[in-house]
Amino acid sequence: MEHLPTSTASACPSNLAGQNSVVEQILVTFNEAVSLDANAFSITNNAAGVTVFGGAAPNVLAVTAIQTAVGGGSTATQWIVTFSGPGTLAIPGGTGNVIRDGLYVVNVDGSKVQRQRADGRQRFHRLLGFVRQCLRGQ
């Protein structure tokens, strides 16, 4: 029986050039080339995990994940996750959406990722003026 290695992923928010207060997309990198079924990624809004003592409350509206392989095609080691839905804002003068202020989890459904044995998830957040660096295995 051939042993197939388990795929692992890391995620890194990326933003518009010169703008540190938005998240336009997330780059998800697997340790091997994978193909994904539709809706392999989802975004969980974790606003319930936030206590606000002053200022604006985090977004509570839904965000939908849209996946695209880097370089096109159906198999890749890197996938771009972009956003749509009521929890997003249109990019001013551009194409696509940015995610609203909030606390989110990007989920990977292992049953929709070829060569991945287990589900995975990465935490990330977007706050005005701050983008957290790449998260690995948190």
Residue ranges making up the domain that contains 105 = 9-126
On whether residue 118 sits in a domain, the answer given is yes
Q: Report the mean per-residue pLDDT for the chain.
A: 78
Assess if residue 131 is contained within a domain: no
Could you report the per-residue pLDDT of 54-66, keeping only the tens digit for each?
Answer: 888 888 999 999 9
Beta-strand runs (E) in the chain: 9-14, 25-35, 41-45, 64-69, 75-84, 88-90, 97-99, 102-108, 120-127, 130-131
Structure tokens at 3: 């042993």
Whole-number Å distance between alpha carbons of 88 and 80? 16
Q: Provide the number of structural domains found in the chain.
A: 1
In a domain, 3, yes or no: no
Are 112 and 135 within 8 A, CB to CB?
A: no
- What pLDDT score was predicted for residue 33? 85
- Provide the token pair at 96: 């696509």
Residue 137 belongs to a domain = no
Give me the amino acid identity at 75: T
Structure confidence at residue 68 as a pLDDT band (50, 70, 90)? very high
Q: 97 lies in a domain? A: yes
Position 42 in a domain? yes
pLDDT tens for 4-39 read 344 555 666 655 455 556 788 888 888 888 989 999
Q: For 74-86, what is the mean pLDDT?
A: 91
Q: Is residue 27 part of a domain?
A: yes
pLDDT of residue 95: 84
Sequence-distant (6+) residues with CB within 8 A of 3 are none
- 18 compared with 120, residue with greater pLDDT: 120
Q: Is 48 helix (H, G, I), strand (E, B) or coil?
A: helix
Residue 132: inside a domain, yes or no?
no
Which residue's structure tokens are 């890194």?
12
